Amino acid sequence: MDKKQAAEIVKHALDALEAIERAGEIVINVDKDARLDLADPIEEVVGRLNYELLPAIYHRYPDLRPEQERPAVSVYHRWEDVELRDKITEAELDSILFSLMGPRWQKTMMVIALAERHCRELKLELDRVVFGLRLLALAESDQIESQGPVRMWRHSEVRLRSAAELS
């Protein structure tokens, strides 16, 4: 593959990502059964493009990497789609997440990574999607503050609500 071919592949891959992400935004709002059928395949395609195809090209032709990476949606599920196992309750999950946040803004991805590590130490195996979806639900219900699109973990931030706002 020469540079011209690589540039064309990147252009088409970015166009495809944009179209797939628009489709994913529709999937987020369909009924639960359809969402459960469609969200995983969409997430897989987005993941393969973002984390396999494009990095392989950028490795070979670093100058083709855009200066400003486009934010990738991390998940197309909703909190209602999550089935917690017997080992942890929603309240316990919230307690873990709240313990990792404070009054200053933190990247959503960082809170998810810390929660994942904390749960591993407790011998709880939870997928990072569970943490991301719970943070999104907490933000949507104004239990925590957020800035940026929380579905885009690397491009959003979360923090605890201030004491003044809670009273």
pLDDT band at 72 (very low <50, low <70, confident <90, very high): low
At residue 150, does pLDDT exceed 50? yes
At residue 167, does pLDDT exceed 60? no
What pLDDT, in 10s, does the model give residues 2-21?
999 999 999 999 999 989 98
Residue 106: beta bridge partners?
Answer: 158
Phi, psi (degrees; rounded to nearest 5) at 161: -70, 150
Q: How far apart are CA 44 and CA 21, in angstroms?
A: 12
At residue 34, does pLDDT exceed 70? yes
pTM of the model as a whole: 0.74
DSSP assignment of 32-88:
HHHHHHHHHHHHHHHHHIIIIIHHHHHHH-GGGS-SSPPPPP-----GGG----TT-
pLDDT band at 86 (very low <50, low <70, confident <90, very high): low
16-24, long-range: CB < 8 A, 24+ apart: 16/49, 17/46, 17/49, 17/50, 17/70, 17/72, 20/45, 20/46, 20/49, 21/46, 21/72, 21/73, 24/73, 24/76
Q: How far apart are CA 154 and CA 68, in angstroms?
A: 13
Those residues whose C-beta lies under 8 Å from the C-beta of residue 150, and which sit 6 or more positions away, are 108, 132, 135, 136, 139, 140, 156, 158
pLDDT of 71 reads 66
At residue 165, does pLDDT exceed 60? no
